[in-house]
Amino acid sequence: MRSWTGSARIFSLPRFVEAFVSEQPSALRARIKASGLEHREWSVDGKARLHRYVSQYAVHEDLASVIDVIRCLRSLLGLPVL
């Protein structure tokens, strides 16, 4: 599990992403690791499949950290935080 630390909080990569990659390995074009972090490049079709997978299987707990990151980014950019 990759974690990102910001604003004294830790955000973990949601477990459904790892579950999706294990079920749909062809959706992932590349994994790039640097400085202890990991970036994933998705195929065009892989992005669509990930979207469908998230819509079908993700629960609030899975998306809470993603929502928190978006809120932090909006705050840093001076945008209204919804």
Flag whether 69 is in a domain: yes
Tens digits of residue pLDDT in 31-60: 888 888 788 899 999 999 998 988 888 878
Domain encompassing residue 7: 3-75
80 domain residue, yes or no: no
Instruction: Read off the pLDDT of residues 4-37 as tens digits, 9 standing for 90 and up.
Output: 344 434 445 557 788 889 999 999 999 888 888 7
The phi, psi pair for 64, rounded to 5°, reads -60, -45
Domain count, the chain: 1
pTM greater than the 0.85 cutoff:
no
Q: Is residue 82 part of a domain?
A: no
* Residue 58 included in any domain: yes
Q: 14: how many CB neighbours lie within 10 A of its CB?
A: 19
In a domain, 38, yes or no: yes
Does any domain span residue 30?
Answer: yes
